[in-house]
Amino acid sequence: MSTHTTTAGPAISVRGLEKSYKTLHVLRGVDFDVAPGSIFALLGSNGAGKTTAVKILSTLLKADAGAASVNGFDVATQAPDVRESISLTGQFAAVDEILTGRENLVLVARLRHLKDPGGIADDLLRRFSLTEAGARKASTYSGGMRRRLDIAMSLVGGPPVIFLDEPTTGLDPEGRIEVWQTVKELAGRGTTVLLTTQYLDEAEHLADRIAILHEGRILVNGTLTELKQLLPPAKVEYVEKQPTLEDVFLALVGAAGRKEQS
Ligand SMILES: Nc1ncnc2c1ncn2[C@@H]1O[C@H](COP(=O)(O)OP(=O)(O)OP(=O)(O)O)[C@@H](O)[C@H]1O
Ligand SMILES: [Mg+2]
């Protein structure tokens, strides 16, 4: 388990979270907990409010109602402590293309006033299988390598909780698998990971728990096995077919009334 988790309770706790943009009521009472060292996937269609939730949890945005804590700190009243506990990797990479992979990591370590930026960079390059690429400009990296470097940069300083907002959107299948391995490695070391995704297979492969956000609320929250038990297995002649996460997602989202897509 984690060496740097400071809380015994959940790493992330969300209760009755609400957020509107003018008249658009995006989050309508969102509740969930994330256990330390686990991978939690927030699954939802475009516009479901995933990024909004992540922004509130990372203190970039204020909730209208409800409460949330990260690493034991309240996001509204202890924002600096929350920020010390987290890193956020958004959809647009923070990688500087002109610098090498190693220089990017050294830069972040310097900005955070850490001792031995070179050592920190080399260690992260090794962990993310980027040692050889480390001397090359990031502009020469594949999409998967760039994303891995981006995640590595967010880990400088060893935050106990990391938020990954759509970590594999736009990557090819190989790049996605590379990023998945990275995320698994993180959780294996005790880092708590909250990721958002629109990809059902991503949640299926990576997450210890999956929550489906739809029309402002969490429709279901459980392990893949638990979610699959929500639908009876379909019988095809003599072979039992387990429902896929996609079947569960579509049945639930369809049942709740599909929102008009603009
Ligand atoms: N700053 C803003 N002002 C007004 N409306 C916003 C703002 N940010 C988001 N929205 C709207 O709120 C809703 C939720 O947006 P959000 O970005 O949280 O969704 P999402 O689940 O991350 O979607 P995607 O999968 O497309 O990234 C959308 O309808 C979006 O248009
Ligand atoms: Mg988003």
Per-residue confidence (pLDDT) for residue 7, from 0 to 100: 46
- Say if 2 falls within a structural domain: no
Q: What is the mean pLDDT of residues 203-232?
A: 92
- Say if 199 falls within a structural domain: yes
- Say if 100 falls within a structural domain: no
User: How many domains are contained in the chain?
Assistant: 1
Q: What is the mean pLDDT of residues 48-62?
A: 96
Q: Domain containing 182 — which CATH number?
A: 3.40.50.300
pLDDT > 90? residue 256: no
Q: Determine the distance separating the centroid of ligand 2 and the alpha carbon of 165, expressed in angstroms.
A: 7
Query: Which among 80, 59, 46, 68 has a CA at the least distance from the CA of 169?
Result: 46
| Reported pTM | 0.85
Residue whose CB lies within 8 A of the most ligand 1 atoms, among 17, 18, 20, 21, for a mutation test? 21
Q: Supply the range of the domain harboring residue 206.
A: 12-95+141-255
- Say if 185 falls within a structural domain: yes
pLDDT > 90? residue 236: no
Residue nearest to atom 17 of ligand 1 (CA): 51
Rounded distance between C-alpha atoms, residue 1 and residue 21, angstroms: 39
Query: Which among 202, 198, 222 has a CA at the least distance from the CA of 210?
Result: 222
Q: What is the mean pLDDT of residues 89-108?
A: 88
Residue nearest to atom 25 of ligand 1 (CA): 46
- Say if 19 falls within a structural domain: yes
Residue whose CB lies within 8 A of the most ligand 1 atoms, among 23, 24, 249, for a mutation test? 24
- Percentage of the chain modeled with pLDDT above 70: 90
Instruction: State the average pLDDT for the chain.
Output: 88
Query: Which among 214, 180, 256, 183 has a CA at the least distance from the CA of 47?
Result: 214
Residue nearest to atom 2 of ligand 1 (CA): 21
pLDDT > 60? residue 100: yes
Per-residue confidence (pLDDT) for residue 3, from 0 to 100: 46
- What is the strand order of the sheet 73-74 is part of? 24-34, 12-21, 65-70, 73-74
Phi, psi of 254 (to 5 degrees): -65, -40
Give the ligand 1 atom nearest the CA of 213. Answer: 21
